[in-house]
A and B are shown apart, each in its own frame.
Chain A
Amino acid sequence: MAENNSSSSNKSDPSQSWEQQNPEIEREIGIEEYQPKGTLTFTLMYLGLVVLMWLFMYFVEFGGNAPSIIE
């Protein structure tokens, strides 16, 4: 995204990164040090939820009922 022509918050020194110029950012985190462990946690929770919901759908609706016979 070559977007360097766009304005940034508090842009004063072009040698500074976007993070350094942004007062809301406490520290800049690079690709090497970033560990998305929160994302992993949420992804595993979502996986667990989907499996449970699927089991619910399958067993309550199919496994839990006798075969339907239309007379």
Chain B
Amino acid sequence: MTFLHKFPKAAKVSKANFIVAFIALGLGGFFGFIQALHRTGVFRGFFNSGEYYTLLTGHGVLLALIFTTFFIAGLFVWGVTRSLEREPENMTFTWSWFWIMTIGLVMAAVAILGGLVPNGSIRAAVLYTFYPPLQAHPMFYIGLALVLIGSWMAGADWFWSYRKWREENPTDRIPILTFMTLFTMLMWYVCTIGLAIEVVGLLIPWSLGWVVEIEPLLPRTLFWFFGHAVVYFWLLPAYYVWYAILPKLSGGRLFSDSMTRIVFIIFLILSTPVGYHHQYADAGISLGFKFYAMATTMLLLLPSLMTLFTVVASMEHGARQRGGKGYFAWVGKLPWDRPAFVGCALAGIMFAAGGFSGMINAGMNVNLLIHNTLWIPGHFHLTVGTAVALTFMAISYWLVPQLTGRKLKFKTLALIQPYTWFLGMTLMSNAMHRAGLAGVPRRTAEPEFNTNAMSFDPVFGTMGEMKWQIAIGGTILLISLILFLWVITTSWLAGEKSDKPVDDYIPEPLSGVEHTPAVLDNMKLWFALALILVLLAYSFPLWEMIQDGIFEPGALPRPS
């Protein structure tokens, strides 16, 4: 018996979410490959440089917003159902949030891809951040609003299951898989307040022509209210996998239940009041609030470093149980021949490198060195592009068999896939970081065009070598992506049917919930604290910004 046989309704919902997620991954990843060749100048025959920005928007929205949100929804349906041992409470409600999100996604995708139709009137080349003065077709914003509403309903669905479970189990501790889901969603509710106000209150009326001009700073600030916390909305489900599943895949147990809960609580509290660290170069926000955001950002390193300790210690526990010894030799005893383990472990290593560049981004002074350069995409391809995406792909090799009741096919290809992703990203990301240090701008179809007579001055290496590392790395990433989609699709459709396609047992943590203080499960307390910190960070600056009127001082849409 596996998940499919015990919870067939929830398995169907998870599978539907994964199908959408994988289609978005394939399409968005292909756009990324075209960009890697285009901006390096290796091959510019696919699309022209104007259309590059449509592809860039498609790449960002389909991967960072659609692939992640749908995969996370599928993962959380699996986790909540499994740990509470109950199917969703009302399948009509559950399917309604799935379809609302899907309709929203289709609207946003059609608006973006409309930019590739010659002389078409529907366009949304507004990049993943989509703030003014760049303007998209109203369908894009309305679609995103629907995705957002659907995700809120999904969260409500999991809280509903939890309440029903609580009525039947008044004294039990929240199971860890459900705990991590609920705290991630609480954080999502806090941070999406900013996005909802921006999209519904400002962007939709503006794109419909009800107002002509818009203030650039207010929607930009509201976007970053959401825009940094969203990275934790992607990352926490990867942590969820690293905490709950990776220790078992390593042959051991999670080191500590209470450490896990504390980490999720800190993320709930601190994820949102850090948004100004994306606006260090913005005029109109006082230095004091930027400093507050920097301090909060540095505090956020703490739960990630705690995760480094807990996850590596859990893996070491597994390796030692498998006969590992010494200070370093134990690493060799880890199951480096299992795709799900390998993908998660390599994703974790990449995240450690991304942690370093994140510390540079967070520093208010050093940030100016790399602000708006190719360093930034180099950074987030390590974090969301590998720590999150590779973890999601890898754990699919373990989850999809449980959801389909079919064994994985092409296990050798599945094993090669995370290694090729790691190789491709190592080439591409290191070159992007160094190119950023040399001053190469991000979000530019022809980076050489901006420079006129100026030449880039690399600190390490040469510009030619970086260009080829980005192009070759991007190509290897596409090959890895095709391998993943091939393995998953063939396993899903034609894998050998089995009652137990994978060992899905998850052992208790080494230091279990009996050692965890009860206050950690107090959701009201931590949610209230999160709201207070957000009020401290945002109330005064937002109040200042609307002094001249909500749409004043106005700017026309660009390109106008």
Question: What residues of chain A have their CB less than 8 Å away from a CB belonging to chain B?
Answer: 1-3, 5-9, 17-19, 22, 24-31, 34, 36-39, 41-43, 46, 49-50, 53-54, 57-58, 60-62
Check B146 for interface membership: any CB of A closer than 8 A. Answer: no
User: Does B366 contact A58, Cβ atoms closer than 8 Å?
Assistant: yes
Nearest 10 CB-CB pairs, A to B?
A8-B505, A36-B313, A26-B323, A18-B507, A39-B313, A6-B505, A31-B510, A39-B312, A3-B506, A41-B327
B507 touches A34 (CB 8 A): no
Bound form: Cα–Cα A31–B322 in Å: 16
A3-B82, A6-B506, A53-B356 known; A43-B369 Cβ under 8 A: no
Q: Is the CB of A9 within 8 A of B326?
A: no
Q: Is B359 an interface residue (CB 8 A)?
A: yes
Contact code string B280-313 (vs A, CB < 8 Å = 1, else 0): 0000000000000000000000000000110011
CA distance A42 to B323 in the complex (A): 19
Q: Across the interface, do A1 and B320 meet the contact criterion of CB distance under 8 Å?
A: no
In angstroms, how far is the closest chain B Cβ from the Cβ of A56? Answer: 9
Q: Is the CB of B505 within 8 A of A38?
A: no
B244 touches A42 (CB 8 A): no
A7 touches B2 (CB 8 A): yes
Interface size class of B (residues with CB under 8 A): 35 or more
The interface residues of chain A lying within 8 Å CB-to-CB of B316 are: 36, 38-39
Pick the contact of B504: A6, A17, A30, A41 (CB < 8 A): A6
Given contacts A6-B506, A25-B322, A53-B356, 9 further A-B contacts (CB under 8 A): A1-B175, A1-B506, A7-B1, A22-B251, A36-B317, A38-B319, A39-B312, A43-B309, A61-B437
B325-339 interface (Cβ within 8 A of A): 326-328, 330-331, 335
Whether B142 sits at the interface, judged by CB under 8 Å, is: no
Nearest CB in chain A to that of B360: its residue:
A57
Inter-chain CA distance A41–B330, complex, in Å, is 12
> Looking across the interface, which residue of chain B has its beta carbon closest to that of A41?
B327
Q: Which residues of B contact A19 (CB under 8 A)?
A: 321, 507
**CA of A6 to CA of B177 in the docked complex: distance in angstroms?**
14
22 contacts across the A-B interface (CB closer than 8 A): A1-B83, A1-B176, A1-B244, A6-B506, A7-B500, A18-B505, A19-B507, A26-B321, A29-B321, A34-B320, A36-B312, A38-B312, A39-B316, A43-B308, A46-B308, A46-B352, A50-B355, A50-B356, A50-B359, A57-B360, A60-B459, A62-B366
Closest Cβ–Cβ distance, residue B424 to chain A (whole Å): 22
Which residues of A lie under 8 Å from residue B96 when comparing CB positions?
A: none
Residues of B454-511 at the interface with A, using a CB-CB cut-off of 8 Å, are: 459, 500, 503-511
Asked whether A28 lies within 8 Å of B511 as measured between CB atoms, the reply is no
Chain B residues with CB under 8 Å of A2's CB are 83, 175
Interface residues of B (CB under 8 A from A): 1-2, 82-83, 85, 175-177, 244, 251-252, 254-255, 308-309, 312-313, 316-317, 319-324, 326-328, 330-331, 335, 352, 355-356, 359-360, 365-366, 369, 437, 459, 500, 503-511
- Distance of A34 Cα from B255 Cα, bound (Å): 10
User: How far apart sit A19 and B317, CA to CA, in the bound complex (Å)?
Assistant: 12
How many angstroms from the CA of A2 to the CA of B507 in the assembled complex?
8
Residues of B within 8 A of A49 (CB): 356
B328 and A41 contacting across the interface, CB-CB below 8 Å:
yes
Question: Are B321 and A27 touching (Cβ within 8 A)?
Answer: yes
Cβ contact of B312, chosen from A5, A29, A42, A53, cutoff 8 A: A42
* A7 near B505: Cβ-Cβ < 8 Å: yes
A34 to B459, CA, bound (A): 44
Of B321, B323, B511, the residue contacting A31 (CB under 8 A) is B511
Q: Are B366 and A29 in contact (CB under 8 A)?
A: no
Task: Report A-chain residues with C-beta under 8 Å of the C-beta of B176.
Answer: 1
Please state if B369 and A34 are interface contacts (CB–CB under 8 Å). no
Residues of chain A within 8 A (CB-CB) of B507 are 1, 3, 17-19
A3 and B505 in contact, given A39-B309, A57-B366 (Cβ under 8 angstroms): yes
CB distance from B501 to the nearest CB of A (A): 11
Distance to closest chain A CB from B529 (angstroms): 26
Are A38 and B328 touching (Cβ within 8 A)?
Answer: yes
Contacts of B251 in A (CB 8 A): 22, 24-25
Say how far B383's CB is from chain A's closest CB, in angstroms: 15
Q: Which chain B positions have C-beta within 8 A of A57?
A: 360, 366, 369
Name the distance in Å between B24's Cβ and chain A's nearest Cβ: 30
Complex Cα spacing A49 to B83, Å: 39
Contact assessment for B508 and A26 in the assembled complex, using a CB-CB cutoff below 8 Å = no
Q: How far apart are the CA atoms of A26 and B324 in the complex, in Å?
A: 9
In whole angstroms, what is the CA distance A19 to B323 when docked?
A: 12
Chain B residues lying within 8 Å of A62, measured Cβ to Cβ, are 365-366, 369
Chain A residues lying within 8 Å of B352, measured Cβ to Cβ, are 46
B331 touches A38 (CB 8 A): yes
Q: How far is the CA of A53 from the CA of B353 in the complex (A)?
A: 11
Cβ–Cβ < 8 Å partners of B326 in chain A:
38
A26 touches B322 (CB 8 A): yes
**List of A residues within 8 angstroms of B508 by Cβ:** 1, 3
